[in-house]
Amino acid sequence: MRLVLRAVVCAILLSSCVSEGSHQVGLSDTSSIDAISPGWCDELPRVQYASLERIDVDSDWFEVWGVGEDVFALYEPKQWQEKVSYLILGTERALLFDTGMGISSISEVVKQLTDLPIVVLNSDTHPDHTGGNADFSSILAMDTDFTRERAAGYPNERVKGELAPEALCGPLSSDMVEDEYSIHAWSASQEVTDGYVIDLGGRELEIIGIPGHTPDSIALFDSDAGYLWTGDSFYEGTIWLFFPETDRDSYSTSVERLASLVPKLTLVLPAHNAPTADPIRLLELRDAFTSIQEGTLEGVLSEDGTIEYDAGEFRLLLAEK
Ligand SMILES: [Zn+2]
């Protein structure tokens, strides 16, 4: 069980388990990271979904939920990451913000929701956000070396742990074979930076660069609607800030920036677990992270070198300094 769990953690930590760098989380065979909490599957559905409208689509993997005006959450509840990608409609085109795990075809679901041309953008380029990128030809990508590197995709050995029995809730999608699972390479059609505005026709979305979780982490801001998509920089769950590519000083600046937007927000739309959160959480995030940086919030250290800080509705998991 532990070995299986570790395999999953290693797959997610990507290089951490095979290369030893001083800045990396040093997982060992006796790692006690409970990356997949036992019984996660039994605790679904999450309460937030009760107030949302379920949209009927033909898929045995994705659930689609209406979460705002012309915004669909494409949720993967059968896999422990509970990835949430978003399809955001304008009048002339639609933006697909993240393309999911790549376990089942997201493009087949998108086709059922709109005929508009699709533009893809990733909230970061970890494998759970870029799984379906290769199916699309129009991809905006952040102008960072990290992004260009991650566009090569992820081979089976680095992601197969995502399909371990403990990682799944029910059977695999019929179009997926565990040994063939990988994140395919993709190419950007245009590089973009902080402040870039995507015009979907009747709807403008601004890219807010919020490096920290990864160098290419972004939020997406619809100022007319007051919607803010926060990617992996905020969600209700355990927020992962222990990667080699995580920079906590950058994250600190980024959470200040997110908090400064709160007066303009009506809804926060995160990349995992539940597709809706109260904007006030972003103030709680800033306060919690400030307390961590100042050493006034105590965390729990695990054998694997990570420290978990409990902030109420969410937790922050950092590498030991
Ligand atoms: Zn990520």
User: Which are the contacts of 32, defined by CB distance < 8 A and separation ≥ 6?
Assistant: 302, 303, 304
pLDDT at 13 over 60: no
How much is the average pLDDT of 45-60?
Answer: 96
Tell me the two tokens of residue 298.
């105590």
How much is the average pLDDT of 23-49?
Answer: 62
Q: What digits encode the pLDDT tens for the residues 154-182? A: 999 999 999 988 899 987 767 677 889 99
Cis peptide before 45 (omega within 30 of 0): yes
pLDDT at 32 over 50: no
Split at pLDDT 50, 70, 90, the class of 85 is very high
Total number of domains in the chain? 1
Residue 6 CA to ligand 1 center (angstroms) comes to 19
pLDDT at 77 over 70: yes
Residue 218 CA to ligand 1 center (angstroms) comes to 10
Q: What digits encode the pLDDT tens for the residues 104-144? A: 999 999 999 999 999 999 999 999 999 999 999 999 999 99
pLDDT of residue 16: 35
Gap between the Cα atoms of 98 and 83, Å rounded: 9
Residue 266 lies in a domain: yes
pLDDT of residue 29: 24
Residue 303 lies in a domain: yes
Tell me the two tokens of residue 75.
């949720």
Alpha helices in the chain (DSSP H): 2-13, 106-113, 127-130, 145-150, 156-159, 248-261, 280-294
Tell me the two tokens of residue 164.
């371990």
Gap between the Cα atoms of 27 and 33, Å rounded: 8
Residue 66 lies in a domain: yes
How much is the average pLDDT of 200-206?
Answer: 98
Residue 40 lies in a domain: no
Residue 88: give the domain boundaries: 2-35+45-319
How much is the average pLDDT of 217-221?
Answer: 98
Residue 278 lies in a domain: yes
Tell me the two tokens of residue 276.
């809706």
pLDDT at 26 over 50: no
Residue 76 lies in a domain: yes
User: Which are the contacts of 65, defined by CB distance < 8 A and separation ≥ 6?
Assistant: 49, 52, 53, 54, 55, 72, 73, 75, 275
Which region holds residue 70: left if phi is over 0, alpha if psi is between -120 and 50, else beta?
Answer: left
Length of the chain: 321
Split at pLDDT 50, 70, 90, the class of 321 is confident
Residue 135 lies in a domain: yes
Alpha helices in 165-319 (DSSP H): 248-261, 280-294
Query: The CATH number of the domain where 15 resides is what?
Result: 3.60.15.10
203: buried, middle or exposed (CB in 10 Å: 19+, 13-18, 0-12)?
buried
Task: Point out the least confidently predicted range of 18-27, 167-176, 181-190, 225-234.
Answer: 18-27
102: buried, middle or exposed (CB in 10 Å: 19+, 13-18, 0-12)?
buried
Residue 214 CA to ligand 1 center (angstroms) comes to 7
Residue 126 CA to ligand 1 center (angstroms) comes to 5
Residue 125 CA to ligand 1 center (angstroms) comes to 7
Residue 73 lies in a domain: yes
Neighbours of 149 (CB within 10 A): 12
How much is the average pLDDT of 221-238?
Answer: 97
Q: Pairing state of beta strands 190-192 and 139-142?
A: parallel
pLDDT of residue 3: 30
User: Which are the contacts of 185, defined by CB distance < 8 A and separation ≥ 6?
Assistant: 134, 151, 152, 153
List for the chain the helix, strand, coil content (%; round to 5).
30, 25, 45
Residue 240 CA to ligand 1 center (angstroms) comes to 8
pTM of the predicted model as reported, rounded to 2 decimal places: 0.90
